[in-house]
């Protein structure tokens, strides 16, 4: 898979937060964004999780934004001292952070309804890298933002999901990677070489093999065939099915 193909759009996810690295909070955003990207035709190529550390965040932002079509960040955009994602995005892009009047208006409106004052802490959430577009947050008000090819979202899963829904219609997308799962009813070690030969003969299909334990049959395998082209997907799937029939017959024959 070459990134130079115009029909391929790539992405990375950057999860920001000490609480994920300490194990206190279990991330639920990576899998969600991964499935979402696959569904809309974006190839998620890499994920990084870093701590609430400016150097680490800026370094990861710079590594990822130059390499992939999009970078989705989650976490670190709340009102406290450890929420430094906006500062880091601004630093990576070399732009100042401005108090964004639209965000101030959103926060004021929400506080009028929910109670609370627009203090210094909450005003942190109005600090937006200059030139960024806001990403609406229908769940809790304070928006994310879209700077260059970096989309900065909240860490709370429900808020992140709402933000992703806002952003998705505006993303460039590529040819979708379609997939078929074939249950092998054979052990992974019994189909490995055969599967490798099929993968070589079908270079435009991506063939993966995932062992699982079946309560009745014992060790079993799911074979996942993926391709951007329906005919190529069907051809690779047929090859896998023909191979499986042979392997099963051989095993049955002892």
Min CB(191)–a second copy separation in Å: 7
**By C-beta, is 151 or 225 nearer to a second copy?**
225
Q: Determine, following the binding rule CB under 8 A, whether residue 173 of this chain makes contact with a second copy.
A: no
* Binding-site member from 8, 9, 50, 171 for a second copy (CB under 8 A): 50
d(CA 117, CA 194): 66
d(CA 243, CA 202): 14
**By C-beta, is 78 or 129 nearer to a second copy?**
78
Q: Determine, following the binding rule CB under 8 A, whether residue 100 of this chain makes contact with a second copy.
A: no
Element (H or E) spanning 111, and its range?
A: helix 101-114
**By C-beta, is 121 or 133 nearer to a second copy?**
121
- Helix (H/G/I), strand (E/B), else coil: 124: helix
Q: Rule CB under 8 A: which of 232-251 touch a second copy?
A: none
Q: How many Cβ atoms are within 10 Å of 94's Cβ, its own excluded?
A: 8
Q: Determine, following the binding rule CB under 8 A, whether residue 2 of this chain makes contact with a second copy.
A: no
> CA 70, 74, 77 angle in degrees (round to 5)?
120
Q: Rule CB under 8 A: which of 189-218 touch a second copy?
A: 189-193, 195-196, 199-200, 206-211, 218
Token pair belonging to 17: 């937060």
Min CB(131)–a second copy separation in Å: 26
Token pair belonging to 57: 């965040």
Quick one: how many helices (H) and strands (E) in the chain?
Answer: 9, 11
Q: Rule CB under 8 A: which of 4-43 touch a second copy?
A: 15, 18-27, 30-38, 43
> Following DSSP, what letter does each residue of 150-208 receive, concatenated?
EEEE-SSHHHHHHHHHHHGGGS------EEEEEE-SS-HHHHHHHHHHHHHH-TTSEEE
Q: Rule CB under 8 A: which of 108-137 touch a second copy?
A: 114, 116, 119-122, 124-125
Min CB(37)–a second copy separation in Å: 7
Interface residues toward a second copy, by CB under 8 A: 15, 18-27, 30-38, 43-52, 56, 78-82, 114, 116, 119-122, 124-125, 140, 156, 177, 179, 187-193, 195-196, 199-200, 206-211, 218-219, 224, 226
């Amino acid at each position: 898979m070459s990134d130079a193909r115009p029909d391929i759009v790539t992405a990375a996810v950057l999860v920001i937060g000490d609480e994920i690295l300490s194990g206190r909070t279990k991330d639920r955003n990576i899998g969600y964004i991964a499935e979402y990207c696959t569904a809309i035709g974006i190839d998620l190529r890499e994920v990084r999780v870093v701590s609430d550390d400016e150097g680490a965040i800026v370094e990861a932002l710079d590594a990822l934004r130059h390499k992939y079509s999009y970078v989705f960040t989650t976490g670190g955009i709340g009102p406290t001292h450890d929420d430094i994602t906006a500062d880091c995005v601004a630093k990576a892009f070399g732009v100042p952070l401005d108090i964004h009047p639209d965000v101030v208006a959103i926060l004021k409106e929400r506080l009028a309804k929910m109670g609370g004052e627009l203090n210094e802490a909450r005003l942190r959430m109005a600090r937006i890298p200059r030139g960024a577009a806001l990403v609406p947050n229908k769940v809790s008000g304070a928006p994310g933002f879209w700077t260059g090819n970096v989309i900065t979202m909240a860490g709370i899963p429900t808020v992140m999901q709402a933000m992703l829904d806002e952003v998705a219609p505006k993303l460039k997308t590529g040819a979708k990677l379609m997939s078929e799962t074939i249950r092998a009813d054979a052990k992974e070690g019994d189909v490995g070489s055969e599967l490798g030969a099929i993968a070589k003969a079908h270079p435009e299909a991506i063939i993966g093999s995932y062992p699982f334990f079946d309560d009745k049959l014992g060790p079993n395998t799911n074979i996942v065939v993926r391709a951007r082209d329906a005919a190529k997907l069907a051809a690779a799937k047929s090859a896998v099915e023909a191979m499986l029939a042979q392997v099963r017959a051989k095993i049955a024959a002892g």
